[in-house]
Amino acid sequence: RGRGPWKPGTHILTFARAVDPNYFTARGEFDTSLATGIYWLDLDSGGAGELVKPETGYALVDPQWVPNGQIISFYELVYMEGQGPFAFYDFTTNQYVRWEEPIGSVDWSPDASQLLHDNMTYAPSYTERIFLVNRDRSGERQLSAELENGYAMAPLFSPLGDRIAYLEVTGMDMDTTTTLIIQDLPDGQPLKLLLLHQAYDLTWTPDGNFLLVSNGNYPDLQVLLISADEGSYQVLADGWQAAMQP
């Protein structure tokens, strides 16, 4: 899977640089001369350089590759807090594409033709839902159910792109319930797979049969391996931020 800052099939790491505090001159205003792009480092050859220039004047942060390695997405930095507008660079056309609005956390389909997003751009407003949209921004539709006093977040395509997983949170303050949801594509209904406490670091296993998640109330967290078909699970370890080897 290409999700994250490593270019698929390579040992090339992409990253953003810390932004000079003088980049922000006022709320919503910034010094374009201090904008930084996305950079790369090849751990095999030792080569390094700038991968995507900040050609729109915004500093670029949070690089994420699509699974086929042809596109890298990121956010344009506008405010000191919250998430900036979504954008991506398409290396097949050498084109910088801007959406000019924040869309929350994003996950790309295996063929990069579609993406999921949740509109979670800062603290939850309880209007966040899961959306599927084509790369050209056409055909957007809501996949998650409407919720009373709740929101949906952190959507992920399965490795084959035939299912998605995401988290559904209901309640307020410390009295919340988090549910792991599985949904078949293109037209499946949300299936409540497992009730969790507080969930972090949700990811699919490469075979698409299981999900890995950190669960619990901090600092008492456990790493769970969950069957994507049955919702049964096993505790792998005490802790969190576990990484799955491809």
DSSP secondary structure code for residue 4 in this structure: S
Dig out the tokens for 231 from the structure.
Answer: 């919702």
Q: Would you say 169 and 124 are in contact if contact means Cβ atoms under 8 Å apart?
A: yes
* Residue 180 CB coordination number (10 Å): 25
Asked whether residue 62 carries a pLDDT value surpassing 70, the answer given is yes
- pTM (whole model) above 0.75: yes
CA of 209: how far to CAs of 181, 200, 204, 226, in Å? 14, 19, 8, 9
In this predicted model, what pLDDT tens digit does every residue of 152-202 receive, in sequence order? 999 999 999 999 999 999 998 778 899 999 999 999 999 999 999 889 999
In this predicted model, what pLDDT tens digit does every residue of 70-86 receive, in sequence order? 999 999 999 888 899 99
Dig out the tokens for 113 from the structure.
Answer: 């033709």
Q: Is 22 helix (H, G, I), strand (E, B) or coil?
A: helix
| Confidence label for 88 from pLDDT (cuts 50, 70 and 90) | very high
Q: Would you say 133 and 114 are in contact if contact means Cβ atoms under 8 Å apart?
A: yes
In this predicted model, what pLDDT tens digit does every residue of 213-241 receive, in sequence order? 999 988 899 999 999 999 999 999 999 98
| Confidence label for 246 from pLDDT (cuts 50, 70 and 90) | low
Q: Is 246 helix (H, G, I), strand (E, B) or coil?
A: coil
Q: Please give the pLDDT value at position 198.
A: 87
